[in-house]
């Protein structure tokens, strides 16, 4: 291991002198200077650059020495097990024309976050949402990455409708799905509510349950419309006398964006708190799919979602349900088989993933019901239920999987 790697497991020794001056200097340089820098960096790299794409907000937080604890954990794990040249960047810090990136890295020699310039990474690990204004630039960037044969560790955002619509064509997964339709006209919502009495509306994309509404037709023939207000951290409920009264509220909520309507799952409950499950899976050093942890999430009372929730391990849930040893083992096998099918089916359609968060539920009869896949899981429930060690192992899996891909590429190059 050379001195640069020991001092800068997240950086580039050749760029230390550019750390803060470089952005200003390059602002006055011509395009050819940037192009030369990009080519020079590209020549020097050794298939070991690991780029983490984050939101603009998180990028600026790093530059201000305010990393999230998961970010700190990632650089610590990388230092221990992989020693990639690890850097963080956002879409706006990509120079598309010159294929150059302004990134932030951690300098272990003085324990500070610094900025520098980097070639396009060998591994792209997406950990942040792409703003509406940045989507065009991001698409161009990923097109360039594919041409350069860069490994995209989470190649798709896995939109709810795209995944659900695809799974409906797979016989082994169809039994795990709830009836789901794409909203086009008010009658689509009326028909689903009349048929099932309780439905969920879900955005085609979106994270942290920000685009979810629960609608229930009560015994009093009134319509209860519930959603979780993330800004105020509380459940909002509106009661309508007629179904027609709901439509303006639904349309305002989704602001012209498409959404789907889904039959509600008859979820297990503990003290009026609905339960669903999040499984965190990764490919490991051998390329095999491994389950890092399964967490049962308990939603707030009457909340339509469990995202902002308490969590327990699956074993703790089984204990609460008073399952026998035989029942536990049988259910464990069913869950593991289901998760493997979901992971592999998703990859068959959307590409190979280094990791995936899979949301599912058990109904009152312990049947498994699919909810959604997540390509950028924040692993909040994993930490709550299984602790920091599980988070660390999930990161180790991703890094060692990338390391195995690196070895394969170098072996092919030398042969």
Q: Looking at residue 415, what is its pLDDT?
A: 74
Q: Are residues 144 and 199 in the same domain?
A: no
Per-residue pLDDT at 396:
97
Rounded distance between C-alpha atoms, residue 151 and residue 408, angstroms: 12
Return the number of other C-beta atoms located less than 10 Å from residue 353's C-beta.
23
Check residues 17 and 318 and name the one with the higher pLDDT: 318
Distance, CA of 2 to CA of 350 (rounded, Å): 38
Q: Is the confidence at residue 225, as pLDDT, over 70?
A: yes
Q: Report yes or no on 408 lying in a domain.
A: no
Whether residue 246 sits in one domain with residue 272: no
CATH number at residue 392: 3.30.470.20
Residue 257 has pLDDT above 60, yes or no: yes
pLDDT over 90 for what percent of the chain? 76
Kindly state whether residue 409 falls inside one of the protein's structural domains.
Answer: no
What is the number of domains present in the chain?
3
* Domain stops at, among 263, 292, 322: 263
- Last residue in a domain, options 232, 263, 294: 263
- The confidence score (pLDDT) of residue 7 equals 38
Three-state secondary structure call for residue 19? coil
CA distances from 348 to 40, 57, 342 (A): 37, 33, 10
Same domain, 78 and 101: yes
Tell me which of 409 and 132 has the higher pLDDT. 409
Does 404 fall in a domain?
no
Give the model's pLDDT for residue 10. Answer: 44
401: which 2 tokens? Answer: 């999987």
**Same domain membership, residue 67 and residue 41:** yes
Q: Could you read off the pLDDT of 284-295 as tens digits, one per residue?
A: 999 999 999 999
Full residue range of the structural domain in which residue 189 is found: 180-263
Claim to verify: residue 215 and residue 229 sit in the same structural domain:
yes
316-344 average pLDDT score:
97
Asked whether residue 66 falls in the same domain as residue 115, the answer is yes
Q: Is residue 130 located within the same domain as residue 187? A: no
Residues 173-182 pLDDT 10s: 999 999 999 9
Amino acid 154: pLDDT: 96
Which of 24-38, 65-79, 302-316 ranks highest by mean pLDDT? 65-79
Assigned domain for 371 exists: yes
Residues 251 and 326 in one domain: no
Residue 18: pLDDT band (50, 70, 90) is very low
> pLDDT tier at 17 (50, 70, 90 boundaries)?
very low
Tokens (6 digits) for 385: 């239920």
pLDDT at site 273: 87
Say yes or no: 170 and 310 in one domain. yes
Q: Are residues 381 and 336 in the same domain?
A: yes
* pLDDT, averaged across the chain: 88
Asked if residue 34 belongs to a domain, the reply is yes
- Residue 65: predicted pLDDT: 96
Q: What digits encode the pLDDT tens for the residues 345-385?
A: 999 999 999 999 999 999 989 999 999 999 999 999 999 99
Tokens 């999930």 -> residue: 394
Question: Do 225 and 283 have their domain in common?
Answer: no
**In the predicted model, is pLDDT for residue 171 greater than 90?**
yes
pLDDT at 49 over 90: yes
Residue 411 lies in a domain: no
Is the backbone of residue 47 left (phi > 0), alpha (psi -120 to 50) or beta? left
My answer on whether 99 and 226 are in the same domain is: no
Number of C-beta neighbours around residue 217 at 10 A: 16
Residue 14: DSSP 8-state: G
Tokens of 165: 């619509």
Residue ending a domain, choose from 263, 280, 302 = 263
Would you state the pLDDT for residue 3?
A: 35
- CA–CA separation, 164 vs 313, rounded Å? 26
Residue 407 lies in a domain: no
Domain at 103, CATH number? 3.40.50
What is the Cα–Cα distance from 402 to 354, expressed in whole angstroms?
Answer: 8
Q: Is residue 68 assigned to a domain?
A: yes
What is the model's pLDDT at position 173? 97
Judged against a pLDDT cut of 90, whether residue 92 lies above it is answered with: yes
CA gap 357, 372 in Å, rounded: 8
């Amino acid at each position: 291991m050379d001195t640069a790697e020991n001092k800068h497991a997240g950086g580039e020794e050749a760029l230390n002198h550019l750390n803060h001056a470089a952005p200003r200097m390059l602002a006055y340089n011509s395009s050819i200077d940037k192009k030369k820098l990009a080519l020079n960096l590209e020549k020097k790299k050794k298939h070991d650059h690991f780029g983490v794409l984050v939101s603009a907000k998180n990028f600026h937080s790093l530059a201000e020495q305010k990393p999230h604890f998961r970010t700190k954990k990632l650089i610590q794990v990388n230092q221990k097990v992989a020693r990639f040249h690890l850097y963080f960047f956002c879409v706006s810090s990509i120079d598309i024309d010159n294929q150059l990136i302004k990134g932030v890295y951690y300098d272990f020699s003085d324990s500070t976050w610094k900025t520098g310039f980097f070639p396009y990474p060998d591994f792209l690990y997406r950990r942040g949402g792409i703003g509406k204004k940045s989507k065009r630039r991001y698409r161009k960037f990923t097109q360039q990455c594919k041409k350069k044969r860069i490994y995209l560790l989470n190649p798709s955002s896995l939109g709810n409708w795209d995944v659900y619509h695809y799974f409906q064509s797979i016989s082994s997964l169809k039994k795990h799905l709830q009836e789901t339709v794409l909203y086009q006209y008010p009658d689509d919502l009326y028909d689903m509510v009349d048929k099932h009495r309780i439905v969920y509306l879900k955005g085609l994309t979106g994270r942290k349950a920000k685009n979810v509404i629960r609608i229930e037709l009560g015994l009093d023939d009134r319509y209860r419309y519930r959603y979780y207000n993330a800004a105020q951290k509380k459940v909002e409920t509106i009661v309508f006398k007629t179904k027609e009264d709901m439509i303006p509220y639904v349309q305002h909520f989704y602001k012209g964006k498409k959404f789907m309507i889904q039959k509600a799952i008859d979820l297990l409950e503990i003290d009026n708190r609905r339960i669903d499950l999040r499984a965190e899976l990764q490919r490991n050093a051998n390329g095999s799919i491994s389950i890092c942890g399964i967490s049962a999430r308990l939603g707030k009372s009457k909340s339509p979602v469990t995202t902002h929730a308490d969590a327990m391990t699956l074993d703790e849930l089984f204990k609460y349900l008073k399952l026998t040893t035989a029942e536990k083992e049988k259910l464990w096998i069913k869950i593991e088989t289901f998760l493997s099918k979901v992971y592999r089916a998703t990859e068959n359609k959307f590409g190979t993933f280094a990791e995936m968060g899979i949301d599912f539920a058990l109904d009152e009869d312990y049947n498994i019901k699919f909810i959604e896949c997540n390509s950028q899981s924040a692993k909040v429930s994993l930490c709550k239920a299984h602790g920091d060690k599980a988070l660390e192992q999930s990161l180790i899996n991703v890094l060692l999987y990338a390391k195995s891909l690196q070895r394969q590429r170098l072996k092919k190059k030398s042969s």
